[in-house]
Amino acid sequence: MLPSSEAMMQCMFCTTDLDFLSVSEREAHYEHHLLNDLDKPGEGSQTKPIILDSITDASKVLGYRSDASATSSKKITFPCMNETDVFWYAAQDKPPPSSFTPGLVPFLRKGLIKAHARGSIRKAALCYDNAVHVNRESWDASWGCGYRNFLMACAGLMTQEKQPLYFPLLDSPISPGIRNLQVWIEAAWGAGFDHEGREELKKLIKTRKWIGTSDLWVAFVFRGIPAELVDFDLRKQPQVKASDLVINWVINYFTPKQAQEKPTNAFEFLKVSPVISTDKMPLILQHDGHSRTVVGYEVDKNGLTSLLVFDPSHKPSSEIRNAAIAEYSLARQDSSSALNQGTSGQDTSGSLKRKRSGTLSSTQEKAGKQSSHKPPSPLKNGLSLENTSREGKEPDFYTMVKKFRLEPKNLSKKKEYQILYFPMTAPLTDYERMQRKEVRSTKIS
């Protein structure tokens, strides 16, 4: 006799009835999707979350029962129903949503260079240029920091060119999103990942439960993206030195090996830039109660090192956002100009679905400078190059950098930290994924 529809367990990818399958068979079913569906070419990121209204009990879909079985089938409601759950990354042609701010890394670089010229800092290092700041909104203000950091990570991973296969792994079959991340994590549980997290959270879809860097690790590894966790236990460290462990680790992460070698003569010294631009992905730093995305560091004139962070609880002012988007728009203009020169005489109207922008080669830079071709206006894509202050006055980049600074005295207030970072190695094989079903990390104390 077939079970009733209320008791039926369905695959969230293909809606196949899983009711008669064992746990191991369900895991194999999900593995089939991951090994086959993810190989199909993506159609571009879909910013809308999947429709979950038909799922009356998400725990049944994944083959387990919530402890709160009496209320598990009730529809969850929220005080603020206007959920603007979208995803955006810098290679897209459409303008960024109001909670997404591209161009902040080039913006910070300008400010840091000015700070160095004033003698306020000794040096600094920044992450990948196309990193995007994503701030929380009213509907997720009390619980969304982990999810917003996830969106920042995805925005960088889906535009970088070092590992292009990351894009289809992240974009299909379910693209990034706040509610979609909850589906990712529960799907990972259904495939046998993170038993401890499953037991602790029990149900995640359509809830406002906090998630941490370990949950993000599970989501990325489940999708085949290499990720690593580092745990810092500072409880036995004196308060003065507690933050040094975290800061020194971040400095080592963002500083290229060649930059770590001291110049041997005056000529080599002149070649060393005080503000280093890298291709490193941002990392996520979590402590009890909050998490931030770290995009670099700065060393002030007294030798004090502060982290540079994108805090999801901080919404950039309109002045900062306009200045950052102006930087982003100019970079797109330069990239478009060079691209047009490199494809002269070719019809590019039907080119790749994913258009990328990034660092130009010296040949492309020369071609762009020598070209008399007028680049396309960013206004076509809804982006404005309008000055952020009246009468064409340039914004004070140096002062604005302070908004993104996390100083050691604030880091030392917490005794335990966890960092999630991306080593940017090849996508995980099926065997490697299976070896990561339990969360693991490197311990530093």
Q: Which residues pair with 134 in a beta bridge?
A: 100
Q: Residue 303 forms beta bridges with which residues?
A: none
What are the CB-based long-range contacts (under 8 Å, 24+) for 52-56? Answer: 52/179, 52/183, 52/205, 52/206, 55/12, 55/205, 56/6
Asked if 299 and 305 count as a contact pair (C-beta separation under 8 A), the reply is: yes
What are the distances in angstroms from CA 331 to CA 139, 266, 319, 366, 395?
A: 32, 33, 19, 15, 18
Say which residue the tokens 């070092």 belong to: 162
* Per-residue model confidence as pLDDT tens for the chain (445 residues): 434 433 445 565 565 666 666 666 666 676 665 555 444 433 334 444 443 433 333 333 333 223 333 333 334 444 445 788 999 999 998 999 999 999 999 999 999 999 999 999 999 999 999 999 999 999 999 999 999 999 999 999 999 999 999 999 999 999 999 999 999 999 999 999 999 999 999 999 999 999 999 999 999 999 999 999 999 998 888 876 778 999 999 999 999 876 555 555 544 444 568 999 999 999 999 999 899 999 999 999 999 999 999 999 999 999 999 999 999 998 887 765 554 555 444 443 333 333 323 333 333 333 334 433 333 444 444 454 444 444 456 677 778 899 999 999 999 889 999 999 999 999 999 999 999 999 999 999 8
pTM across the whole model: 0.72
103-329+397-443: in CATH 1.20.1560.10: no
What is the secondary structure of 142-158 as a DSSP string?
Answer: TT-HHHHHHHHHHHHHT
Give the number of other Cβ atoms within 10 Å of residue 315's Cβ. Answer: 16
All structural domains of the chain with their residue ranges: 103-329+397-443
For 186-245, the DSSP string reads: HHHHHTT--HHHHHHHS--TTS-----HHHHHHHHHHTT---EEEEEE-TTS-HHHHHHH
Q: How many CB atoms lie within 10 A of CB 37?
A: 14
- Find, among 165, 102, 162, the residue nearest to 130 by Cα: 102
CA 154 to chain centre: 4
Secondary structure of residue 114 in the 3-state scheme: helix
Cis omega (within 30 of 0) for bond into 263: no
